[in-house]
Amino acid sequence: MVDDLGNWDWPNLQSLLPHSMLLHLSATKPPRSGFKGDFPGWARSHDRIFSVRAAYEALSDSSVQTANVVWKVIAGFRGLQRIKIFLWLLAKDRLLCNAERVRRHLSSCARCEACGAAVESTQHIFRDYPIAVAVWKGLIKRDKWVEFMSLDSLEWIQCNLSSHSIFAIDPVDWDLRFGAILWSLWLRRNAMIFDPENLGMLAVSDRSRWLWADMKAACGLEGHARPDHASMDGLLPTSRVMARWVSPPRDWFKVNVDGARDHSTGLAACGGLIRDHEGRWVRGFARSVGVCLPIESELWAVHEGLVQAWALGLRRVVVEVDSMTVLRLMSQRNGREVPMTIVQHIFELLSRDWSIKFVHVYREANAVADRLAKSVPFGSLEFRIFVDPPISISALLQVDCTAAGYHAD
């Protein structure tokens, strides 16, 4: 059921198999002669070897537990009850922003009346709106800014409510302040529409600071050390080193790749981009993989990045991944012993006459690849090539260009 090039014969398969089965099949590269033969394996681990840990995770259904963490975090929110209910509505994506009003057929216009953006979503109100950006800029670590602005909504809420030190410059009672800021942004948005005359009476930063103090008092936290005025407004400089994209040496090219997966359906995608030693765009790609494990989506990204680099005639390539598991697999240098055909295809590419280096990169320095991976609809089985960078990643590319540390000649 493969064609002359060794790929799945999709025209015939589509007439024989249901789409749900094709989604599983598409995530598996067809084997070739010389590859490791079929054998029984444990599907819950990336190396197909049984372990007690994998069995425990299967029995405890850890994926469902992970999906429910955000609701437990919101339920344990220490702040005002009205803000807890508000956070629950935000996580459920049930706040009546203009995008939601259009979805419910309550309006025909999803435009943001404040700044003129085409769509007023919750993402826009609480992260992309200029006032929101200004508020967060003074409170979020510089090296975490890209991640803070690009995280999935549920993960964004969960991280800020449960892990105070991840994003905040001052982590003291960050969960309370985070909730207060979101509530204040929502009140300002509503005042702009329903009570514009009193809009300027209380700024978002001032309102959220008052709410923060009220919630601390209600929780009996008055005795906790509070940051001074400068720290509260985010005016104190930080000496933290910013994780960033760094260009490769001259005459080398860098391939950044990443995988993305919907944990509820198992549908995955991958994406990546190639840049030269001056940070100039060479090519980008995004592929809908099908149904697979998270590690497999990362491996598909590596495979597609190598295929694109080889096709362009690039022979000195640095591949950056944010998965340590992938990095360990690539360091084995023995693809025939790994029971996944995608790994064996990768090692077949690595055996060609070129120089390849694998490097681990922090997630915030891999944001462009992550955004490309999420740009293709999961389950569509689409494959996209970007000769020019999409407009949707322009801001992220600009961050990389301004923060990149170029190698000296």
Residue spans of the domains in the chain: they are 1-60+245-409, 69-232
Q: What is the DSSP letter of 168?
A: B
Q: What's the pLDDT at 198?
A: 57
- Residue 227: per-residue pLDDT: 37
Strand partners, 269: 260, 288
* Helices marked H in 61-138: 62-75, 81-91, 98-103, 122-123, 130-137
Q: Which two tokens stand for residue 53?
A: 């840990």
Amino acid 362: pLDDT? 82
Amino acid 278: pLDDT: 92
- pLDDT of 209: 72
- Which pLDDT does position 336 carry in this prediction? 54
The DSSP code sequence of 18-40 is: -HHHHHHHHTSPPP-TTSPPP--
Does residue 133 sit in helix, strand or coil? helix
Mean pLDDT per 10-residue section of the chain, whose length is 409 residues = 74 85 88 68 67 73 57 88 92 91 91 85 91 89 88 89 87 89 89 69 65 66 40 32 76 96 89 95 96 91 97 96 87 64 91 94 87 92 95 88 50
Strands of the 383-386 sheet, one edge to the other: 355-360, 316-321, 253-261, 267-275, 281-291, 383-386
Is it true that domain 1-60+245-409 has CATH number 3.20.20.120? no
2 SS3 class: strand
- Candidates 391, 395, 407, 327; CA nearest to 360 is 327
- pLDDT for position 163: 83
CB 272 within 8 A of CB 304: yes
Cα distances (Å, whole numbers) of residue 386 to 160, 281, 286, 381, 399: 34, 10, 8, 16, 19
289-299 exposure pattern, b = at least 16 Cβ within 10 A, e = fewer: bbbbbbbbbbb
Please check whether residue 42 is in contact with residue 293, taking contact to mean a CB–CB distance below 8 angstroms. Answer: no
- Which residues does 18 contact at the CB level (< 8 Å), separation at least 6? none
Give the chain's end-to-end CA distance (angstroms, integer). 50
Using alpha carbons, select from 358, 294, 363 the residue that is nearest to residue 322. Answer: 363
Q: Phi and psi (nearest 5°) for 293?
A: -80, 160
Closest CA to 372 of 288, 305, 272, 295: 272
Its sign, for the CA torsion 292, 298, 301, 303, is: negative
Say what the pLDDT of residue 5 is.
65
User: Which pair of structure tokens corresponds to residue 169?
Assistant: 């410059």
Give the model's pLDDT for residue 308. 97
What pLDDT is recorded for position 384?
Answer: 96
- What are the φ/ψ torsions at residue 246 (nearest 5 degrees)? -120, 135
Q: How many CB atoms lie within 10 A of CB 10?
A: 14
DSSP bridge pairs for 275: 254, 281
Tokens 């989604």 -> residue: 23
Closest residue by Cα to residue 367 from 150, 105, 48, 111: 150
3-state helix, strand, coil in the chain (%, to 5): 50, 10, 40
